[in-house]
Chains A and B, each alone.
Chain A
Amino acid sequence: MTPSDPRAVFIEELIAVAPDLEAATIDDNDHLQNELGLDSMDFLRLVSALHKRFDLPIPESDYPRLASPAKAVTYLVEKLAT
């Protein structure tokens, strides 16, 4: 079973990794590392959580496609459709 709202799930997992963020203040185009302050370990944990939630393999070569919430949601929707 895959979640029906990829954006909501993405934001949920993002905040689980970085609970200093507030959902309301996150802009979809914020860069996860530069603007939202994640470090590379945070990013790996986020990828791992998304992998579990969506039951979707996310190869390292796709990591740049997860650079912001907007990019990540586009990526997830695309992957889930195939």
Chain B
Amino acid sequence: MAYEIIAKVAQPEGLLPMAAGWDAARARLDGLPGGGLNVAHEAVDRHVGAGHGAQTAMIWLGREGARRELTYADLAADAARFANVLRSCGIGPGERLFLLAGRVPELYAAVLGALKAGVVVSPLFPAFGPEPVRARMEIGEASVLVTTEAHYRRKVADWRADMPQLKLVLIIGETAPEDCIALGPAMAAAPATFETHPTQAEDMALLHFTSGTTGLPKGVVHVHEAVVAHAETGRLALNLRPGDIYWCTADPGWVTGMSYGIISPLCNRVTMVVDEEEFDLDRWYTILERERVQVWYTAPTAIRMMMRAGDGAAKGRDFSALRFLASVGEPLNAECVIWGQQVFGLPFHDNWWQSETGGIMIGNTAEMDIKPGAMGKPLPGIEAGIVVREGDRVVEQPDGTIGELALRPGWPSMMRAYLGQPERYAKCFAGGWYLTGDLAMRDSDGYYWFVGRADDLIKSSGHLIGPFEVESALIEHTAVAEAAVIGIPDETAGEVVKAFVTLKAGFPADEAMERELRGHARKRLGPAVAPREIVFRDSLPRTRSGKIMRRLLRARELGLPVGDLSTLEGDPK
């Protein structure tokens, strides 16, 4: 807290405060004409109905330099075509559609079209390897997959026969492998109108996967009612106003790219910039400048990469269109907030949320002074606290004390279940609180400061990685006896995954083996999840009950106090 507070920037006229609270937010939406609530209707059809069909909804920037504009009317028609494709293939409301593709226009049509048809959407990160893809599709009981031929061949084709409930694979493009349908011709043949399925507020809309410390990933269930929070928090925490040019750099394969890269901006009738390409310094500065981006939502990893390039790369550029910068995914260090001021003349506004909350809960809004390094204050309608679990009891902590960040349940985008795992869901709630698993502290001004995870989950480039999933993939290798996975600090990604492995007798612990195992893990898990570093040990520290003590490995790795070792079996350093 050694940094000076950055005073709020005066807001242009026309951004006057509106009535706060979820009821007021709900009233700003339409609802379906015949009753009910549907995300796609609020995001697109509503605006077309109100005469905004000609407004640009998306500026799509292709990898090789293509630039395409789609209006709200275009998006509505594409969504309707996609919904018709699903219906003509016999896919009904409530079935689950998975997405595995890059940021191409078809992906957006698929999300909106599926929601329109009452089909549940579950996005997958395109950098996942075959194992995370398969695990999530099995847990989520996928009926439909929308993907590209390359992803399909690499990650799905080998095991498709083992998953009979997967009825339909739609391949983006004009041709498709056997047993799949090419989406291009199917869309072209489908009618451009579709009557939105009368979904109700509590019908399942989205299924996001999040990692657990033990066991398989959890399917986080969100309902159509979540759109109330998506729309409202975009207005409150991201300062979105109709007609804004807005760029969210997150991929829709993660929750940020779905909530704030598709639903929230469209509900707020902005023009979204969508870039197919990954981070590229010059490209990003050029997009900000040329597309006259007004509101920009990005992540600390990207900001740090831009910072490292120095201010020179940004020199001479015109960022005068920018009005609001925001960041999410992991704590934004104070240096980044201040760098934003130097380069863009605006500070980054950090905010906090997670898959389970569905939308931004805590943030630095335009109306607030910023304390660099703090994640902000609870948004209107959100009650937060810092608590400690004591058995079945939950005790609130005073300001200045570190504890678990907790929220009072009841906001519209709160998860409604972990799919098929009621006991794991129930464990998230105690004493009238939803317990987030994040450690934080509140200062005397009411600002919240992120401290770390309360569990063994690893936060790398803003994404949660469950050590169990990584360990399981390593153990599948014939040479590996046991594995333990932790996060170690990294100046760009926040944390990176490191694995400690013991080998079976007869296998050499050498560099070739290290590469072999990393290669094995990358093939199964993809680069985002696989360990960046593997070290060999003769044995791993275990509790007397046999559980590997990741916490001890991490403490030793980082030179931290090792804490209570009374349950440690032996001391295999």
Contact = CB atoms under 8 A, between A and B. Distances in A.
B527 A61 contact: no
Contacts of B282: 61, 64
Contact of B278 (A20, A40, A59, A61): A40
A3 interface: no
A24 B369 CA distance: 56
B522 A18 contact: yes
Given A41-B527, A60-B308, A20 B492 contact: no
A19 B519 contact: yes
A41 B523 contact: no
A81 to B, nearest CB: 24
A38 interface: yes
Contacts, number: 59
Interface in B511-528: 515-516, 518-520, 522-523, 526-528
Interface string B491-507: 01100100000000000
B515 A16 contact: yes
Interface residues of B, number: 30
B532 A39 contact: no
A75 interface: no
Given A34-B63, A61-B313, A40 B279 contact: yes
Given A19-B515, A20-B519, A45 B127 contact: no
B528 A39 contact: yes
A38 to B, nearest CB: 6
Nearest to B63: A34
A40 B461 CA distance: 10
A74 interface: no
Given A19-B516, A63-B280, A40 B305 contact: yes
A57 interface: no
Interface in B307-354: 308-310, 313
Most buried by B among A18, A39, A45, A63: A39
A13 interface: no
A20 B304 CA distance: 27
A30 interface: no
Contacts of A59: 309
A34 B154 CA distance: 13
Instruction: Give the interface residue-count category, chain A.
Output: 20 to 34
B313 A60 contact: yes
Contacts of B523: 20
Contacts of B309: 59-61
Contact of A41 (B63, B313, B496, B520): B496
Nearest to B512: A19
Nearest to B527: A39
A64 B280 CA distance: 7
B518 A37 contact: no
A29 interface: no
A60 B279 CA distance: 12
Contacts of A41: 460-461, 492-493, 496, 527, 532
Contacts of B532: 41, 45
B529 to A, nearest CB: 10
B278 A33 contact: yes
B127 A37 contact: yes
Contact of A20 (B127, B496, B522): B522
Nearest to A34: B63
A19 B310 CA distance: 31
B1 to A, nearest CB: 30
Contacts of B278: 33, 39-40
Contacts of B496: 41
B281 interface: yes
A44 interface: yes
A38 B515 contact: no
A76 B400 CA distance: 52
A60 B493 contact: no
Contact of A63 (B281, B461, B516): B281
A38 B530 CA distance: 12
Given A33-B278, A40-B305, A61-B309, A19 B518 contact: yes
Contacts of B461: 40-41
Interface string B260-290: 0000000000000000001111110000000
Nearest to A16: B515
18 contacts: A18-B522, A19-B519, A20-B519, A20-B522, A34-B63, A37-B522, A40-B305, A41-B460, A44-B305, A44-B492, A45-B532, A59-B309, A60-B305, A60-B310, A61-B282, A61-B313, A63-B280, A63-B281
Interface of B: 63, 127, 278-283, 301, 305, 308-310, 313, 460-461, 492-493, 496, 515-516, 518-520, 522-523, 526-528, 532
Given A40-B278, A40-B279, A41-B496, 15 more contacts: A18-B519, A19-B516, A20-B518, A20-B523, A21-B519, A39-B527, A39-B528, A40-B461, A41-B492, A41-B527, A41-B532, A45-B532, A59-B309, A60-B308, A60-B313
